[in-house]
C-alpha cells in the first residue's frame, strides 16, 4: 500500500490501515458482548472496509497512463510519477523532461 502513495501522504495512508487493523478485535468484542447477531457483525465489517477503501482512494495518485491520455504527452505530473517509479525501482532509465 505504501508504495502507491507519494511520500507526503504515506503517513496518513498507513495510519488509516493500522487503525482499521487494530480496531478489529475491539469492534468484534464490543458487538458480540451486546448482540449475537453475526450477520450484523459482518455488515459492520463490510461498511468499515468499504469506508477505508474510499478514504484510501482519495490519497492514491492518478496513473501516468491516465495523465498522458488526459493531458497529452508532455504532462509534467505523469513524467514526475514515472521518474519516481524508476528511482524507487533503482532503474537507470528516466523519462526526459523536454517535449
Mean pLDDT by 10 residues, the chain (99 residues): 76 83 77 78 82 80 77 81 85 80
Residue 47 CB burial class (10 angstroms; 0-12, 13-18, ≥19) = exposed
Report how far apart, in Å, the C-alpha atoms of 6 and of each of 3, 25, 30 are: 8, 30, 36
Q: Please state, in angstroms and rounded to a whole number, the distance separating the CA atoms of residues 67 and 78.
A: 6
User: Can you give the pLDDT at residue 31?
Assistant: 77
User: Can you give the pLDDT at residue 1?
Assistant: 65
96 shares its domain with 69? yes
Give the number of domains in the chain: 2
21 shares its domain with 50? yes
15 shares its domain with 41? yes
Domain extent, residue 3, equals: 1-60
39 shares its domain with 69? no
CB neighbours of 12 closer than 8 A, spacing ≥ 6? 59
| Rounded (10°) angle between helices 64-71 and 76-88 | 160
67 shares its domain with 94? yes
83 shares its domain with 39? no
2 shares its domain with 46? yes
pTM, 2 dp: 0.45
Amino acid at each position: 500500500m505504501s508504495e502507491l502513495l507519494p511520500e507526503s501522504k504515506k503517513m496518513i495512508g498507513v495510519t488509516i490501515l493500522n487503525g482499521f487493523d487494530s480496531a478489529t478485535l475491539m469492534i468484534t468484542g464490543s458487538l458480540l458482548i451486546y448482540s449475537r447477531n453475526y450477520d450484523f457483525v459482518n455488515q459492520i465489517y463490510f461498511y468499515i472496509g468499504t469506508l477505508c477503501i474510499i478514504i484510501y482512494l482519495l490519497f492514491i495518485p492518478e496513473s501516468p497512463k491516465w495523465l498522458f491520455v488526459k493531458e497529452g504527452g508532455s504532462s509534467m505530473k505523469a513524467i514526475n510519477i514515472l521518474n519516481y517509479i524508476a528511482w524507487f525501482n533503482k532503474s537507470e532509465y528516466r523519462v526526459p523532461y523536454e517535449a
